[in-house]
Every structure is written in C-alpha cells, then in structure tokens.
Amino acid sequence: MLLLSSLAILSYGKVSEQYPAYIWAQTAIGKKLEVKPTVGKDSSYSGTDSSKVSEEIKNILDKTNANSFIVYHRPGMTTENLVNGLVTNHKISNLLRESNPRAIERSFTDVQGMPLTDVVEKEFKGVKKFIIDSKESFANLIKDIENGPKVFIHQYYVVELPYEKDESFDDVVYQVERAFAARTLDNHISIITGSESTRRLLQDVDVEPVEEEANVKDDVPFVYLTSLILTKILIMLPIVFLMILAILQLFYIKTPLMFVEKGIDFGKIEK
C-alpha cells in the first residue's frame, strides 16, 4: 500500500513542496493508481487540480460498493510528510495492512488549486465538517458517527486535524477510522490530504490515546474471511458431521446377543 507514494518521493525528491491526496478502501475492489506531477520543458511542475481528485472520488463511489467517504485533512502536510508518516505511524499503517490486497488505492503526489476539503464541501451535498482540536470536538465527531442513520450510506465527513505531532494525527485517524468503518461495514473510502502552510494552525490536541486491538500485529498481514471461503466452510461442516456419524454407526454394529447364547443342535452326530 505504501509503495506508490514512496516511489513518488524517490522520483521527485525535494524540488518543491507538493501536497498529497491519498485515497484507500478496505473492501472496495479496483485498480491501484498513482498520479505524479508532470515536468514541462522549462522544468516547471504541473500537478493535479483538486477538482479532478474530487471527480475521482465521485467515480469510485459510482463504480464500487463504497457509498461514503471521510477526508482527514492535516494543514501543512506535504507529500514527503505523508510518506514518512505512513511508514512510521504505527496505527495508520495497520489500517492499510488490513485492507483487501485488491482494494482501491489512489496516490496523488501533487494536488494544486483549491484545498481538496473546500472542493469536496462544494461538490458533495450534506458534507459534515469537524475540527478536532479538543476532547469535546473529538467526542462530538464519534457521537455523530455512532448516532447516524441505521442504513449508513451516503455519509460524507471532512475532519480537520491541525496537529503538530505525528503521534496525535496517527492516533486520532485510527480511532475515527475504526468508528466510521463500524458504521459503514467497511463500505467507504478514506482520504488523507494536506494543504499549503499558510493554512496551518497547528496545536497539540488533548485526546485520550487508544490501545490497538490484540489481533493486529506489525509484521503479520490481517487475515480476513472472504464470502467464498465462508461458503466452503458452511458446506464442509455438515459433510464432516455426517461422516463422523457414519463412522460411529459402523463401530456400533454388534452381533445379536441371542445368537451367542443359544446352543447349537448338531443332531444325531452329537448324540
């Protein structure tokens, strides 16, 4: 999951500050795509307009089973910061490991124009925006997600995370993503994006950290149960059960007791 973004940094280095949009899904199947800036004859970079990223979000929602999205915006986060964060941030990395290997992944190396969050709010109706800068605002976001409609579809969230420390960003994204995935049943896409430093208002948020689930390991990919495997298991269980019953019945077959207790009459030969 991290390879596409890493290649972008290796290819373009630190020529200029580039701001990313990284899209991934847990279950929605689709192609993996990396969009890098193009270099003109005058060595100028031409990135991807944020409106095109918004169009790609619409395209994913239309062509897959994903029906909702959540945007995590960290002001001032460049593409290099994001790549380093995805490698070092313990909890976000585990979220990516849990994704289906064939799930959608989009990596936009250089997003230009209006901030993606502004474009998303303009293009999608009913977008809910939260700025997580305190325990109260964090609790309000989690409560809003948990109290959403019973059929949790077409829910759009923009979450502002103006954090100085990577650890705070890592932990809050992990907690919010877990709550959002529980309501959408993993039928959603997640977007991490950054913007120019002029929009930065960084702070240290006071949010209680959460321990990761015991079954998540750093070096072992998440093992998931697909519908095909589940179907095979449900078919094999009764077959195995019937075979056990058949074997037990064979062991239960005995010679009738009356046969061994009744004397044999050999007739005149014995007399």
Q: Where are the domains of the chain?
A: 3-199, 227-269
Kindly report which listed range (12-16, 152-156, 266-270) carries the lowest average pLDDT score. Answer: 12-16
202 with 163: CB under 8 angstroms?
A: yes
Residue 269 pLDDT grade (very low, low, confident, very high; cuts 50, 70, 90): low
Residue 130 pLDDT grade (very low, low, confident, very high; cuts 50, 70, 90): very high
User: Residue holding tokens 């990577």?
Assistant: 166
Per-residue pLDDT tens digits for 24-55: 999 999 888 888 877 766 666 678 999 999 99
**Which tokens hold the place of 262?**
């009744």
136-145, 163-172, 251-260: range with highest mean pLDDT: 136-145
Segment 185-202 shows an average pLDDT of 78
Q: Tell whether the model's pLDDT for residue 8 goes beyond 70.
A: no
Tell me the β-bridge partners of 103: 29
Average pLDDT, the chain: 80
| Pairwise CA distance, residues 53 & 203, whole Å | 28
- Per-residue pLDDT, 220: 38
Q: What phi and psi values does residue 178 have, to the nearest 5 degrees?
A: -60, -45
Helix ranges (DSSP H) in the chain: 3-12, 50-63, 79-88, 90-97, 116-123, 135-146, 166-184, 227-252, 257-261
Per-residue pLDDT tens digits for 108-117: 988 988 999 9
pTM of the model: 0.70
- 3-class SS of residue 65: coil
> Half-sphere exposure of 104 toward its Cβ, with a 13 Å CA cutoff?
24
Segment 115-128 shows an average pLDDT of 94
- Per-residue pLDDT, 227: 59
Q: Using a pLDDT cut of 90, give the percent of the chain over it.
A: 40
Tell me the β-bridge partners of 49: 112
Between 217 and 65, the higher pLDDT residue: 65
Residue 88 pLDDT grade (very low, low, confident, very high; cuts 50, 70, 90): confident
Segment 176-197 shows an average pLDDT of 91
- Per-residue pLDDT, 63: 92
Q: Tell whether the model's pLDDT for residue 6 goes beyond 80.
A: no
> Half-sphere exposure of 121 toward its Cβ, with a 13 Å CA cutoff?
12
| Pairwise CA distance, residues 47 & 179, whole Å | 33
- Per-residue pLDDT, 264: 61
- Per-residue pLDDT, 123: 94
User: Residue holding tokens 């650890």?
Assistant: 167
- Per-residue pLDDT, 121: 95
